[in-house]
Amino acid sequence: MDPAFTDPQTARIAAFLGGIGIPVEPADLPGRCFVPGIRIECGRLLVDEARMTHPGDLLHEAGHIAVMTPEVRARRSLDISQNMGDEIAAIAWSWAALTHLRLEPAVVFHPAGYRGASVWFADLFGSGHAPGLPLLQWMGLTYDATTAQAHGALPFPHMRRWLRETPESAPMEPIDKPADIG
């Protein structure tokens, strides 16, 4: 739990994000934010807890940071890419994160989000379909089922790593190996 935040869910999510390398810092954000109470600032999330409406939005915004290359992550603020590939990768990443944290899908896919498609996304991922998975795999973050089996690893929504690296530094072997695979 992150003691900087009073809401237990926010504190839990912030602690997870900090632990994977995405700092989450309390801030006074009096101006307009694209997502209420949250601003992306050079690889970190600034959070005005009083203005934030949904703690699960932290996971989606962190997904945007996570799928950026380190070079972009270090300099990008406010203006997150309008590229649909980046958006769908961030959505898939947030599904993996909520699964890892054992949160209900509605925490991230709440009625006020995703332009009315929250239930659709939750149902889609919940049924085993994973739009964005090919992008996350290409970024070196996870494996599809076939590739995971070939590497003796767990498939999506398990993540090999949570942050995208540069292609030259990305290891090709899985970080975690399931205990039941030799």
| pLDDT at res. 138 | 94
Residue 119 has pLDDT above 70, yes or no: yes
| pLDDT at res. 1 | 73
**What is the pTM assigned to this prediction?**
0.87
Mean pLDDT, residues 15-41 = 93
Tell me, yes or no, whether 30 lies in a domain: yes
More confidently predicted of 168 and 162: 162
Tell me, yes or no, whether 136 lies in a domain: no
CB 91 within 8 A of CB 85: no
Mean pLDDT, residues 19-27 = 96
Residue 16 has pLDDT above 90, yes or no: yes
Tell me, yes or no, whether 156 lies in a domain: no
Over the chain, what HEC string results? CCCCCCCHHHHHHHHHHHHHCCCEEECCCCCCCCECCEEEECCEEEECCCCCCCCCHHHHHHHHHHCCCHHHHHHCECCCCCCHHHHHHHHHHHHHHHHHCCCCHHHHCCCCCHHHCHHHHHHHHHCCCCCCHHHHHHCCCCCCHHHHHHHCCCCCCCCCCCCCCCHHHCCCCCCCCCCCCC
Residue 169 has pLDDT above 70, yes or no: no
Distance between CA 118 and CA 164 in Å, rounded?
25
Question: In which domain, by residue range, is 91 found?
Answer: 8-131
Q: How many domains is the chain partitioned into structurally?
A: 1
Tell me, yes or no, whether 150 lies in a domain: no
Q: Tokens in use for 38?
A: 């949250």
Q: Which band of pLDDT confidence, cut at 50, 70 and 90, is reported for residue 168?
A: very low
Each residue of 48-98: pLDDT tens digit?
Answer: 999 999 999 999 999 999 999 999 898 888 656 677 888 999 999 999 999
Q: Tokens in use for 123?
A: 């149902």
| pLDDT at res. 80 | 66
Tell me, yes or no, whether 77 lies in a domain: yes
Tell me, yes or no, whether 38 lies in a domain: yes
Tell me, yes or no, whether 138 lies in a domain: no
Tell me, yes or no, whether 140 lies in a domain: no
Each residue of 131-151: pLDDT tens digit?
Answer: 999 999 999 999 999 999 999
Contacts of 97 (CB under 8 A, 6+ apart): 16, 59, 62, 63, 108, 162
Q: Which band of pLDDT confidence, cut at 50, 70 and 90, is reported for residue 115?
A: confident
